[in-house]
Structure 1
Amino acid sequence: MTSPTATEPTHSSRRLAPADWIGLGVLVAVLVVGLSWSKWLPYWDKAWTMSQTSIWDGGPLFDAAGDTISFAGAWDFTLVYFTAVWKALLVALLVAAAIDALVPRDWLARLLNRRSHTGQALAGAALSTPSMMCTCCAAPVAAGLRDTGVRRSAALAYWVGNPLLNPAVLIFLALVLPWQYVAVRIVFALLIAVGASALIGRWITGSAEAAPDPSPTSPRLSSLPVRYLRSLGRFTLILVPEHLALVFLVGLLAPWLTGVYGLEAQLGAGAVLVAAIVATLLVIPTGGEIPIILTLLPLGVGAGVTGALLIALPALSIPSMVMVGKAMGWRTTAAMGAAVAVAAMLAGGVLAVLS
């Protein structure tokens, strides 16, 4: 008999105990109530308003950082950012804790650990679509998935699929930008979430890819609240201060980093490369790339640069990559960062040809 490989996971067929069903019920309740409150209903209202006006309400987030590097500007940027994402971040922490403490690990394996890396990436990307989180808010959930034994390709696809495949953002793009932007976003979002996730999962292997325990034991029903609160506290105490510090750092450097978007006349095609790399590091809330692109287009910034920003800005950020680095593995995280930057450059080139 051959042992299972990374592409042939073993799944337990044990029956779920009452505590397992309650844990799954809590996860579903948190997802439905939390996402309705933080994402689905607000996005529905915003889409309806935009369908009547075809106007994006609000300016680029980086305006809050000011024109020069300063601690005051960095703090203002941090406050504006967290005001925009706190609901989604709270829901993400609640979901991550539920996955870690309440959901049977073998059940997650059966759901996401498909035989092929492409199948795993497709499953992770499909799971990401309804949650609609920005990359930083998706990071705790993606890290939680990896910690419970979900394979790299699936966890990566969930992580990058949240911001790139967000159906609400696709609708927003269609309402305020030419169709070419929507088409390029969809194509390259799929290439990253499914293609890059599958390739990275195939190329990078190691002990962290070991299958979950094939015969886990169910927790006692009375222990579930303690397990959940302990997990929630751990995620909150570790990730929130880390996130706050890294967002402040991005806000501190934002006036210098975002200045590269205006160098297109001097750099030519090189501006697309610079924009793709810088945008991969910057942090924005859901849909934050739209007001930035809308601001740059009237200033004469071309489709190459704005196309790169369309992909790189939402996909990843320094805070997001740091938050998932330990769970995903630093080589995996760096590989996805490189994949996003390359895809963003190609997206800029394609959009320039189509425009």
Structure 2
Amino acid sequence: MDSLIQAQRRPNSMFAIALFALIAVAGLYYVKWSPYYHRAFVAADAHSIGHSILTGTMQMPPAASWHAALGYASAYGKAIWQAMVLGLLLGSAVQTLLPAHWVARVLGGAGLRSVAAGGLMALPGMMCTCCAAPVVVGLRRQQASPGAAVAFWLGNSVLNPATLVFMGFVLGWHWTALRLVLGVLLVFGGGWLVNRRATPAEQSAAREQLDALIASSQQGNSFARWLKLLAQMTLRLVPEYIVLVLLLGAARVFLFPHVGPEVDNAIGWILAFAVAGTLFVIPTAGEVPIVQAMLSFGVAAGPAAALLMTLPPISVPSLVMTARAFGLRVQAMLVLMVIAVGVIAGLAAVALHF
């Protein structure tokens, strides 16, 4: 009887894996790979990939208002909605269509190997922090280690190959080199530090939860469970996400009250821009035109470099979306690490005379 049940499950499992692969490859090609390939030629020819989503064609963000909130949310939504749909599809699919032990086998270790795997797996994704968040939630629920999930999350935006290319053509290849060096430090070093902080009790609980996942995955129809989980994740994550984007859109002027020559290379400005960049939310590669615009308005290289490192990896909305997956302690570490790397980037840009 057991062998008959296993024989029936094997075709269903193979179909589920094939469906996951199809969604991942076709979705990433349509949403990311093809558009970014063509956008690279635009960046090379025009040395620009568009206006700053932070200020548009103006020097300063608009005053806080309902109009400012809606304007930013609309521009941001148009830029990311397809990637967010893909993120929700993959975040739910990784929990239902893949064998329960796969994620834990590749990303569940407490050492550097799982962190390296998570960071490398992020490179084809090229998602912004919020669109990658549902996938990160899914990986954590499948018992990926905290460090591996962090490396995957940060790697999507910080080490995005397309963004690095855009940056080279628009800002200069020295900016790309700065981002790449410090990005590797943040993604892999940050993930390793997070894993080092995991307690033996947390590791034991993860093993017990994995056993429960394997048992539950053998019950019911994978496709039905996927659709149910997709609906649950959408209803839980999207409303709070929209509210937070609206609030940040209205609050732009408070996070960036000065954009001009008065923003010099003083450590206070570098730290202020590092904190603001850590909190604010942007679409994929949005930091490139933001930094380009700020440099054109006279902002010094130090604060601009701090933004280059802190805008992509995390934001208030993405932190809220992943709060249950990581917990307060890990998220506090992430915030401090991103701010620290932003300050290091600003000081490095000053020292290297960017």
Partner in structure 2 of residue 155 of structure 1: 149
The alpha-carbon deviation at position 206 of structure 1 amounts to 6.5
Q: Structure 1 residues 17 and 219, CA, compared in 2 at 3 Å: closer, same or farther?
A: farther
Contact 2:100–2:217 (Cα < 8 Å) also in 1: no
- 1:329–1:47 Cα change, 3 Å: same
70-79 or 256-265, larger mean C-alpha shift? 256-265
On the 8 A contact 1:60/1:295 being kept in 2, the answer is: no
Which residue number in structure 2 is paired with residue 60 of structure 1?
53
State whether residues 50 and 56 of structure 1, in contact with CA within 8 Å, keep that contact through their aligned partners in structure 2. Answer: yes
Of 170, 179, 184, which residue of structure 2 is paired with 1:176? 170
What percentage of residue pairs aligned between the two structures are identical? 35
- Rounded to whole Å, the distance in 2 between the matches of 1:266 and 1:303 is 8
Q: Which residue of 1 aligns with 2:138?
A: 144
Does residue 105 of structure 1 match 2:103?
no
Instruction: Report if aligned partners of 1:120, 1:198 keep a CA contact under 8 Å in 2.
Output: no
C-alpha offsets along residues 135-188 of structure 1, whole Å, 9 cap, x if unaligned?
A: 000111001100111110100101111000100000000111122211110011
The 3-state SS of whatever aligns with 2:248 is: helix
**Counterparts of 1:277 and 1:206, CA distance in 2:** 33
Task: Tell me the residue number matched to 2:337.
Answer: 339
Name the counterpart of 2:294.
296
Shift of 1:190: 0.7
In structure 2, the residue matched to 1:38 is 31
Moved over 6 A (4+): none
Q: Which runs of 5+ in 2 are unaligned?
A: 1-5
Pair 1:90-2:85 in alignment: yes
Which whole-Å CA distance do the structure 2 matches of 1:217 and 1:266 have between them?
A: 58
Moved more, 250-259 or 185-194: 250-259
2:257 aligned residue: 259
Q: Once structures 1 and 2 are overlaid, which stretch shifts more, 296-305 or 153-162?
A: 296-305
Q: How far off is 1:284 after superposition?
A: 0.2
**Corresponding residue to 1:23 among 16, 19, 36:** 16
Amino acid at match of 1:187: V
Aligned with residue 324 of structure 2, among 307, 323, 326: 326
Distance apart, 1:344 and its partner CA: 0.6
Contact 1:74 1:252 in 2 (8 A): yes
Partner deviation per Cα, 1:200-247 (whole Å, 9 max, x = no partner):
221243755422534824756971221011010011000110110111
Q: 1:195 aligns with which of 189, 199, 203?
A: 189
TM-score, reference length from structure 1? 0.90
Query: Distance in 2 between the 1:120 and 1:262 partners?
Result: 43
Alignment counterpart, residue 314 of structure 2, candidates 313, 316, 323: 316
Does residue 47 of the first structure (1) align with residue 47 of the second (2)?
A: no
| Structure 1: 5+ residue stretches without partners | 1-13
The one-letter amino acid of 1:123's match is A
Once the 2 structures are TM-superposed, how far is the Cα of residue 102 of structure 1 from its aligned partner? 1.6
1:265–1:95 Cα change, 3 Å: closer
Q: Distance in 2 between matches of 1:72 and 1:208?
A: 46
Matched to 1:25, the amino acid is A
Provide the C-alpha distance between the structure 1 equivalents of 2:158 and 2:171, rounded to a whole number of angstroms: 16
- Mark the CA change 1:52 to 1:184 in structure 2 (over 3 Å): closer, same or farther: same
Please state if 1:124 is matched with 2:121: no
**Per the alignment, do residues 230 and 165 of structure 1 end up closer, same or farther by CA in structure 2, a change over 3 Å counting?**
same
- Counterpart of 2:210, as a letter, is D
CA-atom RMSD, angstroms?
2.2
Distance in 1 of aligned mates of 2:78 and 2:280: 17
TM-score by length of 2: 0.90
Asked if structure 2 preserves the Cα contact closer than 8 Å seen for 1:135 and 1:316, the reply is yes
Q: Is the 8 A contact 2:263 2:303 kept in 1?
A: no
Counterpart secondary structure, 1:259: coil
